[in-house]
Chain A
C-alpha cells in the first residue's frame, strides 16, 4: 500500500469539490463515493478516540449520517477533511461525555500539577524501543481526554484552534493538554513492558 499522507486526503481537490457538489445536490452515487473514500479513515479515527471497536463502528455510521444531513452547511471554501474531522471529533467527544466518563474528562486537579522535566535520553530511548502497536495499546489505556487530544492532533492533524473548539478548552490550554497527554502516554508505555506483552500473549 502506498504511503499515506499525514491527513488522509483521498481524492484530489478538483474531483472532491465536483463530487461534493453532486452529493449536495442529492446524488446518491456521489455520496457513496465520498463515503468509500473517507469511511476507513473516520473509522480509524473513531477506533483511536473511543474505547471499543463496537463504539467506533457505531460512531462511524452515525457520523456519516450526520455528515449527510449537514452537507448543506459545509463551507466549500474550507478544506473538506478539516470539516469532516471536526464533525467526527464533536461526535466522539459527545459520545464520551454522554457516557459520563467523568473521572477522565475532568482532570482539573491533575492539570494544575507541575510536570516532571523528562530526561531527553531516556525519552529518546523509550520512543525508539516502542512499536506502533504498543503505542496504540498504551493509548487505549489512557484517559479519554488525553487520548482524544493526541488523536486530534497527530491523526486528524487539527490545529490548536480546532482542538480547543472540539474539546471545549481554551486555546491557550491546548498545549498543556497535549503535553500532559504525552506524559500520560509515556507512563503507559513505560508500564507496558514484559507484563503487557505477556498479557497479550495469553489471548
Chain B
C-alpha cells in the first residue's frame, strides 16, 4: 500500500489541496493508520508552533510603550544645515584659500590643490583632466544628495547612480600619455654627451644622469644624481638625491637627503629629513619643504615656505619667507627681499649682518590649544560643523552601510585591533604599490581613501556615542541627531589637555577598525542570525 508523502499531508492540513485530491487523501487516511499518525503529528507540530509563537516570553520594552514621534523636525535640520554650511564656508575661506595662495606663491599655482597631490603633468598627463573630473563628481554627488533629500525613495538608486557616475568618469578619462622610456638596472648611468629625447623613468640602486634628458626624469633609487641636464621636471624617491647639474623644470623629492649644488629653473619641493641648498646653488622659483633639517645657502628666486624642524637660512631669498619651524637661525650672509614670518616655539636667532627687507615677524606659538581665546572655540564649532556635514552626507548616501559600521564598532576588542592594522597597513601597502610604478595611481588613490577613512572614523564613533547617550535611533533623522550630539561631546572631550590626544588616537583606531570590519563583512557572507543571536546573548 502506498502512503501519502509529508508534503501532501501538510498541504492537506493547511487546506491547500485541491478538493478532489483532498477527498482522495481523507479516504485513504480512514483506512491507513500510518498516514493518520503522520497527520496527527504534523497537526501537533502546527499547534506547538502557533502556541509557542504567541506565548509571551518577554515584556514589551519600555521604549515601545509610547508611539515613536515622527522624525520630521524641520527646524533642527535647518539649524544643522546652517551650521554645516557656515563651517564649510569658513573652512574654505579661512584655511583652504590662504593655503592655496601660499602654495601658488611657492610654485604650485595654476589650478587647484590637487596639483600638489598629483604633480600635474609629471606622472601622467591626464591628471589635469582627472582634477576636473573630481570636481565634476563632487558636483554630481551634491546633486544626488539634493535629490535624495527631496525624495526619500531615491535613496536606493543613489548607490547605482554613484557607481554609474564613477564608471562614466573612468570611461571619460583621457588615455595615459605616450609611454615614457623605462629603465631598470642596478646602476643606471646616462653617459655624458648623450641626449635622451623622451621622459625617463628609472629604478635602480644608483641612478646617475651625466647626459641630457629632454623630458621629465622620474627616478627611484638609493642614490640619484643629476650632473647633466634635465629639461623637464625631476621627481625622485631615493635615499640621497644630489642635483649638481641643471634642471629646467621643477624638482620634487621624497628622500632622506637632498643636496642641491646646481641650478633649478622652477620650484623645489622636498619631503626629506635633510635638505641642503649649497652656496653655489640657484633656484629660479620658490621652495616648499617638509623637512627635519634644512640649510639654505644658495639663491632662491621666489618664496620660501616650510614646515621644518631646524632651519638655517644663510642665502638669498627673492620672495617672502613663511616658516613654521622648531628653530630658526638667520646667518650673516642672508638676504630676504620680501616679507619674512616665523612661527614656532623658540625665539629665532637673527644675525645683525643679515639683510632683511622688513623686520622678521615672529609668533612664538607653543603647540597647545589656547583655551582663553574665543577664536579657539569658534574654530572648534566650525570643525564640528564640517564633521557633521561629512557625516550627514555619509548617512544620507549609504544609511545601511553607516549603521553597519556603527554596529561593528560595538565589537570593542576586535575593532580597535583591526583599526591599528588598517592605520599602519594601508600606507605601507600604498608605498609598496607606489614603488612598483604600475601601481602609482592605485597607491595614491588608496592613500587618499585612507585619509578620508581616518577622518570618517570619528564620525562613526560619535554616532555610537550619541546612541549611548540618547538610546538607539529610529530613522535617519534620529541617526543624524545622535551624530550631532556625539560629535559635540567627542569634540569637547578632545579639547581636554593630554587626555584629548589619547582620546583622539583611540577614536581613530576604533572607528577605522569598525569601518574595516563593516567593509570586510560586506564582502563576506555573514555567519547568519544564529551566530548573531549568540553574540548578542
A101 vs B525: C-alpha distance when bound (angstroms): 6
Which residue of the partner chain B has the closest CB to A174? B16
Which listed residue, A58, A100, A102, A103, touches B474 by the CB 8 Å rule?
A58
Q: Give the residues in chain A near B5, CB-CB below 8 Å.
A: 117
| Choice from B16, B54, B400, B525 contacting A103 with Cβ under 8 Å | B525
Q: Are A58 and B472 in contact (CB under 8 A)?
A: yes
User: B400's contact among A6, A47, A98, A160, by CB below 8 Å, is which?
Assistant: A98
Residues of A within 8 A of B56 (CB): 1, 44
Q: Is the CB of A54 within 8 A of B10?
A: no
Bound CA–CA A187/B350 (angstroms): 85
Contacts known (A120-B41, A123-B45, A182-B45); A115 close to B6, Cβ less than 8 A: yes
Interface residues on B, range: 35 or more
With a CB–CB cut-off of 8 A, which chain A residues contact B404? 99
- Answer yes or no: A132 CB below 8 A from chain B CBs: yes
Contact A54–B472 (Cβ < 8 Å): yes
Instruction: Report the minimum CB–CB distance from A50 to chain B (whole Å).
Output: 7
- The reply to whether the CB of B438 lies closer than 8 angstroms to some CB of chain A is no
Contact (Cβ within 8 A) B532 A52: yes
Stretch at the interface among B66-74, B84-92, B228-236, B282-290: B66-74
Instruction: Report which of B51, B64, B526 forms a contact with A43, defined as CB distance below 8 A.
Output: B64
Query: Is B472 a contact partner of A4 (Cβ separation < 8 A)?
Result: no
Chain A residues near B53: list those with CB within 8 A: 44, 48, 136, 150-151, 154-155
- Whether the Cβ atoms of B50 and A65 lie closer than 8 Å is no
A140 contacts which of B34, B38, B68, B533 (Cβ < 8 Å)?
A: B533
Contact A101 B41 (CB under 8 A): no
Known A65-B474, A124-B41: A154·B525 in contact at CB below 8 Å: no
| Interface residue B475 (Cβ < 8 Å from any Cβ of A) | yes
Q: In the complex, what residues of A have CB within 8 A of residue B41's CB?
A: 118, 120-121, 123-124, 127
93-107 of chain A: CB within 8 A of chain B: 96, 98-104
Q: Which partner residue on chain A sits nearest B471 by CB separation?
A: A57
B160: shortest Cβ distance to chain A, in Å?
A: 15
In the complex, chain A residues whose CB is within 8 Å of the CB of B64: 39-40, 43, 57, 60-61
Main SS of chain A's interface residues? helix
Q: Does B171 contact A (CB under 8 A)?
A: no
Within 8 A of A (CB), among B32-74: 34, 37-38, 40-42, 44-46, 48-58, 60-61, 63-68, 70-71
Docked complex Cα distance between A52 and B44 (Å)? 28
| A85 within 8 A of partner (CB) | no
Question: Would you give the shortest CB distance from A124 to chain B, in whole angstroms?
Answer: 4
Q: Give the distance in Å from the alpha carbon of A47 to the alpha carbon of B529 in the complex.
A: 12
**Nearest chain B residue, comparing its CB with the CB of A95:** B400
A131 to B48 CA separation, bound complex (whole angstroms): 8
Chain B residues with CB under 8 Å of A52's CB are: 529, 532-533, 536
B178 at the interface (CB under 8 A from A): no
Question: Complex Cα distance A151/B49, Å?
Answer: 9
Complex Cα gap A48–B57 (Å): 11
Task: Say yes or no: B50 contacts A155, CB within 8 Å.
Answer: yes
B469 at the binding interface (Cβ < 8 Å): no
Number of A interface residues, CB 8 Å? 68
B7→A175 contact, CB < 8 A? yes
Task: State how many angstroms separate the Cβ of B441 from the closest Cβ of chain A.
Answer: 30
B522 at the interface (CB under 8 A from A): yes
On whether A51 and B533 interact (CB within 8 A), knowing A100-B525, A144-B528, A160-B16, the answer reads yes
Q: Tell me whether A100 and B522 are in contact (CB under 8 A).
A: yes
Mark contacts of A28-53 with chain B using CB atoms, 8 A cut-off: 1 yes-contact digit, 0 otherwise.
00011001000110011001101111
> A117 to chain B: which residues have CB within 8 Å?
5-6
Task: Verify if B452 is at the interface (C-beta below 8 Å from A).
Answer: no
Q: How far is the CB of A110 from chain B (nearest CB, A)?
A: 13
| Interface contact A31-B67, CB-CB below 8 Å | yes
Q: Report Cα–Cα, A52/B529, bound state, in Å.
A: 8
Q: When each residue 328-350 of chain B gets 1 if its CB lies under 8 Å from chain A and 0 otherwise, what string results?
A: 00000000000000000000000
The answer, yes or no, to whether A68 is at the interface (CB within 8 Å) is yes
Q: Give min CB distance, B38 to chain A, whole Å.
A: 4
Q: What residues of chain B lie closer than 8 Å to A75, measured between beta carbons?
A: none
- Nearest B residue (CB) for A103: B525
Residues of A within 8 A of B48 (CB): 127, 130, 132, 135
Residue of A whose beta carbon sits closest to that of B48: A127
Partner of B529 from the list A40, A101, A135 (CB cut-off 8 Å) is: A101
A11 at the binding interface (Cβ < 8 Å): no
Q: Is the CB of B529 within 8 A of A96?
A: yes
| Closest B residue by C-beta to A122 | B41
Q: Are A178 and B10 in contact (CB under 8 A)?
A: yes
Which B residues touch A60, using CB under 8 A?
64
Determine whether the beta carbon of B472 is less than 8 Å from that of A144: no
Residues of B within 8 A of A124 (CB): 37, 40-41, 44
Determine if B11 is an interface residue (Cβ-Cβ < 8 Å).
Answer: yes
Which residues of B pack against A, CB within 8 Å? Answer: 5-7, 10-11, 14, 16, 34, 37-38, 40-42, 44-46, 48-58, 60-61, 63-68, 70-71, 400, 404, 472, 474-475, 521-522, 525-530, 532-533, 536-537
Name 8 extra pairs, CB < 8 A, besides A103-B525, A132-B51: A31-B67, A40-B60, A43-B64, A54-B536, A147-B529, A155-B54, A160-B14, A185-B49
Binding site for B on A (CB under 8 A): 1, 4, 6, 8, 31-32, 35, 39-40, 43-44, 47-48, 50-54, 57-58, 60-62, 64-65, 68, 96, 98-104, 115, 117-118, 120-121, 123-124, 127-128, 130-133, 135-136, 139-144, 147, 150-151, 154-155, 160, 175-176, 178-179, 182, 185, 203
Offer 27 A-B interface pairs, CB within 8 angstroms, sorted by A.
Answer: A1-B56, A40-B60, A44-B56, A47-B58, A51-B529, A51-B532, A53-B58, A53-B61, A62-B474, A65-B70, A98-B400, A99-B404, A100-B526, A103-B525, A103-B528, A104-B529, A118-B38, A127-B45, A135-B48, A135-B49, A140-B530, A143-B530, A154-B46, A154-B53, A175-B10, A176-B7, A182-B10
